[in-house]
Every structure is written in structure tokens, then in C-alpha cells.
Amino acid sequence: MKENTVLKDLLAEDFAHRETLANGQAKSSSFQQRKNAFQQFETLGFPTPRNEEWKYSNVKNLVNESYSFNRPAHLTEADLAALSIPDLVGNIIYFVNGVYQPGLSNLVSPAEQVLISPLREAWKTHPDLLASYFNKLAKNEEEAFTALNTAFADEGLFIHVPEGKVVEQPVILRFVSDARGENTGCMSRVVVAVEKTAQVKFVESFRTIGDGKVFTNMVTEISVAPSANVEYYKVQIESGNTHHIGTTQVRMLDRSQFYAATVTLEGGFVRNNLNIELDGQYCEAHMYGLYLPDGKQHIDNHTLADHRQPNSYSNELYKGVLLDQSVGVFNGKVFVRPDAQKTNAYQSCKNVVLSPGAKMNTKPQLEIFADDVKCSHGTTTGQLDDEALFYLRSRGIPKKEALGLLMFAFCEDVLSNIRIEPIREHLEKIVARKLNAEEE
């Protein structure tokens, strides 16, 4: 629907301004792509629940607010201390309000293992390399938020792992929204290219400071070359005033492996799209997800495993614990295209609804056009297992502790798949704290 909103008008003004700033660059092919994307955004308009993909997630509270985009901010020592993750070693890159922060970032991996460069710089130092990956996977024509991110892609990061290189230390992107005193908008673009037989682990972590309204709109494009191996973790601990819309678009080629875990512990309105094209043979894709909404939080995960070639495997496990009046959405699509014979695709989504006011909407969506495939899906939404609860209590564990133990175990099923130990332990602590505090 094309009606104008406060935000849409504001964005049009902002984009025109960026175009004048781009000056000499405005004629470049990358800026031309951005301009096209902005037109696509204007054509598509913000989605409404009439759009099937947005049926359960209404952005009406987002689109009539104004936000200040890529606003400069200063984090104090105390802010940084509150954000720190104990024992975490790796390449740590900070973005505040969408803007790269060289002073807070620290790269530890040698340059021959991996190129980690902010987009602005990468356009200067590696223009051809970046151009061959930038905006190659994003679906601007289908998704308004993606088109919007492409149009505004001044800020962001380029990660390139050359053929055969194994990046030993993880790459950790920390996106911080500082919404003290003002509504803040953050748009960053992450472009990841992992060449043949190369390996990398990377994390996108999202946090907010302050109580202003936040609009985060992220797009991450990940190209996984033949026999490459990528681990990707997305961790969201954002304020209740945040709208986070993020799309991760992945393309996998022959014999590559992609491993994702998306953990959403706090947020206001969250929509994660994780779309994986298995465009090669003998690929292996794993998707894990965990969400723990409480209060009036709304957490929506849309995933896609798009099997385009024969002999590949995808496996998906998403789990949620819903409290208070929170809402969860899971839409898991599995496409098996006519050529994709011998596909193995599995999907499971399990939810525990702990409060009568909470609601979970699940929609598995399997579209299979090949005949020799193995696919399964299952979704469950219910209470905790009473039998298990009685078993624990009959061994002397009080009800509150037994519930805590069972819920933690339920979540651990996903958390245990996070293979960067300090991050896993950090999340386990937050989950344990949240579950104990909630369950009275």
C-alpha cells in the first residue's frame, strides 16, 4: 500500500540529501543501484498486514514516527563496561547508531586471513571486489525494508575471506543504538564473502542504550563459495522501544556449510528474515533460533531454506518461551525446486506459552516440487510438561526451581549450538536470569 507516512516522507527527504552529498559518486554504479532501490522502496511502500508475509506483524507504530538516522553519539566508559562480554576474544567492531566506530573497534586477525573493512573505506580500497558482492543477493524488489537498507547503505561492513583461509578468531559486530533523548534510526549493511574452502565465524550483536524509540533496519548478505564454512550468530538484546527489522540473505554453493543461530532475548518489535538459497550440491545448512519475549514484546522469525540443486541438506530448530502478553511468530518456508532431487530438509518449531495472555503464531510452509526428497516439519505450542515437573519435584526440587530448570533446558537445546563459548555462556546467564525472574 502506497500511502505516505511520516517516516516515508522523512526518508524521501533524507535520501535526496544523501544524493547531493554523494556528489561525484552519485553517477557511480553502486549509487545508481541505491537510487533504484529507493524507487523500489517507494513503489512497495511499508508493508501492512494485508501482505501475507506481514500478516501477524504490523509496523503501524513504526511508520508514523520520525527518527534521526546515523546520529553521532558518544559512549562512555560505563556504557562500554555494561556492553562487555566476559572473556570474549576476537575482531570486535563497533557501530553506534549505524555508524562505524574506529576508536572502539579492534582487529586481531592478520590481514592475509581476512579483510574486515567499513563500507566507506572498502569502496575506496577494494571497489571491484566489493562491487562483485554488494547488493548481489538482496531482494530489493520484494521487500521494502531491504530496498530501504540498500538505498541508505552508506554505513556498514565488508568481510572478505580469501580462498583457503581459516579465520581463527571470530568477527564480532556490535551494533549499539544510543537512544538517550532522541529517536534513533540505524541502517547498516553487512556484506560477507567467504571464498572457496575458507572458514569464518561471525556474530552480529544488537544492544540499545536509553529509552528513545529505535528503528534498526539491517541487511546482511552472505556469499558462501564452494566448500566454504560459515558460522553466523545473531544476538538481539534491545529495548522495548525498538523496532528491529533485519534480513540475512545467504547463498550457498557446492559442498559448503552454513550454520546460523538467532537468539532474541529482549526487544520491542522484532522481525528477522533468514533466507538461505542452497544453490549447489551437497550443501549443509543449519538454522537455530531462540526467542523469549515478555511484556508486550513481539518477535517474528521468518526463515527460508530454498533448495535449488540436488543432494543438499537443511535442518532447522526454533524454540520460544512466551510470557505475559507477548506475541511470537514463526514462518518457516522450505522450497524444494524441481531440480533438487535427494533433498533432505527438516524443520521443527517448539514453543512454551507460559501465560494465558501470550500468543504464538506458527506457520510451516513446505513447497516441494521434486519427488525424491525427505522432508519433515513439526510445530508444537503448549505448556511445560507436567510429568517432567512432577518427576523433578518428587526428587525434592521445589516447583519454582523445577520450572526454571525445565525452561532453561528447553532453551539450552538451542543455546548449546552456539560454538563461541564466551558468547554462549553470556547468553546462558541472561536466559537463566530472565527465566528465574519471570517465573513466580
- Between CA 55 and CA 271 the distance in angstroms is 12
- Between CA 15 and CA 17 the distance in angstroms is 5
**Which C-beta is closer to other proteins: that of 87 or that of 385?**
385
**Which C-beta is closer to other proteins: that of 371 or that of 440?**
440
Residue 15 CB-half CA count within 13 A: 24
- Between CA 83 and CA 96 the distance in angstroms is 12
Q: Which residues are CB-contacts of 438 (< 8 A; sequence separation ≥ 6)? A: 294, 323, 354
Q: CA-CA distances (angstroms) from residue 335 to 7, 83, 293?
A: 34, 39, 29
The nearest distance, CB 389 to other proteins, in angstroms, is 9
CB pairs under 8 A, 24+ apart, for 380-386?
380/349, 380/350, 380/351, 381/350, 381/351, 381/352, 381/353, 382/351, 382/352, 382/353, 383/352, 383/353, 383/354, 384/352, 384/354, 384/410
The nearest distance, CB 413 to other proteins, in angstroms, is 5
The nearest distance, CB 388 to other proteins, in angstroms, is 5
Element (H, E) at 10: helix 6-22
Question: CA nearest 219: which of 122, 135, 330?
Answer: 135
**Which C-beta is closer to other proteins: that of 356 or that of 396?**
396
Alpha helices in 277-420 (DSSP H): 386-393, 399-415
The nearest distance, CB 430 to other proteins, in angstroms, is 17
The nearest distance, CB 290 to other proteins, in angstroms, is 12
**Which C-beta is closer to other proteins: that of 237 or that of 392?**
392
**Which C-beta is closer to other proteins: that of 6 or that of 388?**
388
**Which C-beta is closer to other proteins: that of 12 or that of 392?**
392
- Between CA 342 and CA 282 the distance in angstroms is 10
Strand partners, 262: 234, 289
Amino acid found at 161: V
Residues that bind other proteins (CB under 8 A): 385-388, 390-399, 401-402, 405-406, 408-413, 416
The nearest distance, CB 381 to other proteins, in angstroms, is 18
**Which C-beta is closer to other proteins: that of 380 or that of 416?**
416
The nearest distance, CB 402 to other proteins, in angstroms, is 8
Q: In whole angstroms, what separates CA 143 from the centre of its chain?
A: 15
The nearest distance, CB 233 to other proteins, in angstroms, is 20
**Which C-beta is closer to other proteins: that of 3 or that of 387?**
387
The three cell numbers locating residue 415: 543455546
Q: CA-CA distances (angstroms) from residue 158 to 83, 122, 258, 367?
A: 23, 7, 18, 34
The answer to whether 63 and 8 have CB atoms below 8 angstroms apart is yes
The three cell numbers locating residue 364: 510451516
**Which C-beta is closer to other proteins: that of 65 or that of 428?**
428
**Which C-beta is closer to other proteins: that of 34 or that of 319?**
319
The answer to whether 131 and 162 have CB atoms below 8 angstroms apart is no
The nearest distance, CB 305 to other proteins, in angstroms, is 24
The nearest distance, CB 258 to other proteins, in angstroms, is 25
Residue 333 class from Cβ within 10 Å (0-12 exposed, 13-18 middle, 19+ buried)? middle
